Every structure is written in C-alpha cells, then in structure tokens.
Amino acid sequence: MITIQIPASMEQILVLRKNISEALPEKYRELTFRAELITEELLTNICKYAKNDGELEISFACGMSFIDRHPAFLIELADTGNEHNPFTHLRQDGIAGSLEERSVGGVGLHLVEEMASHFVYSWVDSKNKIQIFLNAE
C-alpha cells in the first residue's frame, strides 16, 4: 500500500496518478482509468468544499486489498476539513433529466458511486475518510 501526505490542491493530481500507476499491478491495469477518474473527482470535491481553520492536508493511500475475499484496488483519501459525508447528498435519480432541469453538482459523486464496487465514508480522528474499492476480477 502506498501512502502519502499532500496539500489540498488540484495541482497534486499528477502525483496521485503516479502513485496509482505504481500501486496497480500489471495484471489489473484495466482499472487505471476508473481509479484515476474517481481520485480526481474526490480530490476536486475536497479542494472545493472541505473547510477548516488551517491548512488543509490530505492523506492518500492506494493499493491492492480484498473485499469479500476477492481482490480489489483500494483508494483512500482522508482530509482535515470539517466533518462532511459527500455520499449523503447523492441524487436519488442519479443524473436523470435534462441539463436545464438538474441542479448544479452531484454528477462527479454519482460517477464515483457507479464505478466503485464498494465505498465507505467515516469520520475518524477528526478526519473525513473515504475508501473506494474497485473489483479487480
């Protein structure tokens, strides 16, 4: 498992992509696009919406794991922002309706929900922690 600390900044996306590339075994390279897109969506949400009184830090981890005894690629982001579970605001209708009818936001998290095999939010040690699992088989 690769774990790094970064400042909350969209400029860090290249660093995160590099870590994903290093952590994904050759055998599971087909997960690269989904892993990178999910990571970018979550980083964007943290950078846009996470608020705190100091410098916002992000802990990023990725690597192979297991879910229900099946191999999975795990992406984990934890930030020092105020407590906020982004998945409580997912639209029940997904992204249905025309652009004019929909409210702004929620499409990125809907994509994360659709692409992930499993996702978990928790508030641990005064940090928002999101774990995303992508089935490797």
Residues 38-87 have pLDDT tens digits of: 999 999 999 988 877 768 899 999 999 999 899 999 999 999 999 989 88
Count of domains forming the chain: 1
Q: Could you tell me the CATH number of the domain that includes residue 70? A: 3.30.565.10
Residue range of the domain that includes 15: 2-135
Q: If you average pLDDT over residues 107-133, what whole number do you get?
A: 92
Span 7-32, pLDDT tens digits: 999 999 999 999 999 999 999 999 99
DSSP H or E segment with residue 115:
helix 107-115
Give residue 99's pLDDT.
45
Q: Which residues pair with 119 in a beta bridge?
A: 132
Residue pair 37/111 in contact (Cβ under 8 Å)? The answer is yes
Q: Among 8, 11, 91, which residue's Cα sits nearest to residue 55?
A: 8
Residue pair 41/55 in contact (Cβ under 8 Å)? The answer is no
**126: burial class by Cβ within 10 Å (0-12, 13-18, 19+)?**
exposed
Query: pLDDT at residue 103 above 90?
Result: no
> If you compute the radius of gyration of the chain from its CA atoms, what whole number of angstroms results?
15
